[in-house]
């Protein structure tokens, strides 16, 4: 069967959105996807499509999360065209594009929902390895009635705070998960994101990063980190209380978050705060340098 792989075109958008609708795995996450039209038009070369007789039969969408890391948002091939090498050719086309665009690419990663765990075999054939598994949660009730340590000061991060935030980043996360100075600078400038820092005695002891979905309907509680020397001081609770106030101001419908599946303290904490587990995903990555 003949088909070709190319970058997405503006005239592909309607068909692409129809395929996207077929690929939605979870009702709770559908609004998180938001309207990808603007992103796709602006990043056409990061979106590859498979075409057979002028019909779109598959796609791969990626985005640059940091200068050295790219994430595959979704890879999908219509049911009638599977097991014919379409997925692999879509991936190869994207990988070739990334090699031209990004110097020093370190990681290309993908999140695989548990219900589609068989897809992990496909990515292993492309030299991806499992990094970890994560649990996804949501919370529709935006109340946060938990006691906050009044001695902890929470405020929006400023340029002068970046070194302190990076120090905590190094203490708390492995290389794959770490964000760099450029990423934090972008977060502070982006109007749909918020980076908060926690201070004790004028020292940064934790931070919390949140953002809104493209649609603005969902709040994404992206990351929280506390310096190991200051844990069990209520810093996470203080940061999260502040985050919930921000989400309320933005009038989101629900808050979404992810955490390591094997981290009992985090899973217990989020359950205690009223988050409900949705599903589990496997994080896989291919390392280049």
Mean pLDDT of the chain: 91
- Do the domains at 4-105 and 141-252 have one common CATH topology? yes
Sequential DSSP letters for 30-84: HHHH---HHHHHHTGGGEEEEEETTEEEEEEEEEEEETTEEEEEEEEE-GGG-SS
- Domain 141-252 = CATH 3.30.70.20: no
Say if residue 243's pLDDT is above 90: yes
Predicted local confidence at residue 37, as pLDDT: 75
Q: Which long-range contacts (CB under 8 A, 24 or more apart) does 71-80 make?
A: 71/108, 71/109, 71/110, 71/111, 72/108, 72/109, 72/110, 74/20, 74/23, 75/110, 76/19, 76/20, 76/22, 76/23, 77/50, 78/19, 78/22
- C-alpha torsion 43→46→51→55, nearest 10: -40
22: pLDDT confidence band, cut at 50, 70 and 90?
confident
- How confident is the model at residue 32, as a pLDDT? 39
Q: Are 116 and 205 in contact (CB under 8 A)?
A: no
> pLDDT (tens digit, 9 = 90+) per residue, 23-72?
765 444 343 344 567 778 888 889 999 999 989 999 999 998 888 899 99
Q: Is the CATH code 3.40.630.30 the one for domain 4-105?
A: yes
Pairwise CA distance, residues 60 & 46, whole Å:
8
Instruction: Report the pLDDT value the prediction gives residue 164, as an integer from 0 to 100.
Output: 96
Nearest CA-CA partner of 32 in 130, 131, 177, 136? 136
Domain boundaries, the chain: 4-105, 141-252
- Of 105, 106, 94, give the one whose Cα is nearest residue 47: 94
What value does the mean pLDDT take over residues 252-262?
Answer: 95
At 228, the pLDDT band (50, 70, 90 cuts) reads: very high
Model pTM score: 0.82
Q: What is the pLDDT of residues 159-177, one digit of tens each?
A: 999 999 999 999 999 999 9
pLDDT of residue 289: 78
What local confidence, expressed as pLDDT, does residue 28 receive?
44
Percent of the chain clearing pLDDT 90 (strictly above)? 73
**C-alpha to C-alpha distance for 244 and 219, rounded to whole angstroms:** 9
Q: Is-contact 199 152, C-beta < 8 A?
A: yes
What's the confidence (pLDDT) of residue 29?
A: 38
Q: What would the two tokens of residue 173 be? A: 């996360």
């Amino acid at each position: 069967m003949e088909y070709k792989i190319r970058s997405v075109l503006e005239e592909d958008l309607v068909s692409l959105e129809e395929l996207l609708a077929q690929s939605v795995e979870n009702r709770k996450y559908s609004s998180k996807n938001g309207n990808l039209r603007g992103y796709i038009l602006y990043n056409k070369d990061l979106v590859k499509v498979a075409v057979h007789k002028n019909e779109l039969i598959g796609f791969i969408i990626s985005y640059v999360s940091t200068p050295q890391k790219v994430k595959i948002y979704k890879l999908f091939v219509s049911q009638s065209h599977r097991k014919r090498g379409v997925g692999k050719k879509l991936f190869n086309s994207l990988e070739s594009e990334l090699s031209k665009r990004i110097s020093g690419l370190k990681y290309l990663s993908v999140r695989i929902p548990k219900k589609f765990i068989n897809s992990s075999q496909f990515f292993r054939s492309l030299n991806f390895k499992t990094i970890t598994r994560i649990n996804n949660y949501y919370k529709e009730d935006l109340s946060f009635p938990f006691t906050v340590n009044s001695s902890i000061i929470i405020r929006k991060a400023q340029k002068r705070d970046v070194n302190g935030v990076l120090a905590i980043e190094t203490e708390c996360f492995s290389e794959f998960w770490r964000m760099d100075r450029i990423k934090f600078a972008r977060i502070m400038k982006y109007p749909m994101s918020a980076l908060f820092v926690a201070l004790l005695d004028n020292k940064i002891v934790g931070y919390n990063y949140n953002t809104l979905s493209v649609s603005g309907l969902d709040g994404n509680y992206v990351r929280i980190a506390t310096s190991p020397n200051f844990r069990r001081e209520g810093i996470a609770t203080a940061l999260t209380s502040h985050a919930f106030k921000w989400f309320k101001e933005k009038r989101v419908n629900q808050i979404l978050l992810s955490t390591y599946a094997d981290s009992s303290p985090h899973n217990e904490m989020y359950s205690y705060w009223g988050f409900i587990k949705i599903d589990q995903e496997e994080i896989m990555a291919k390392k280049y340098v």
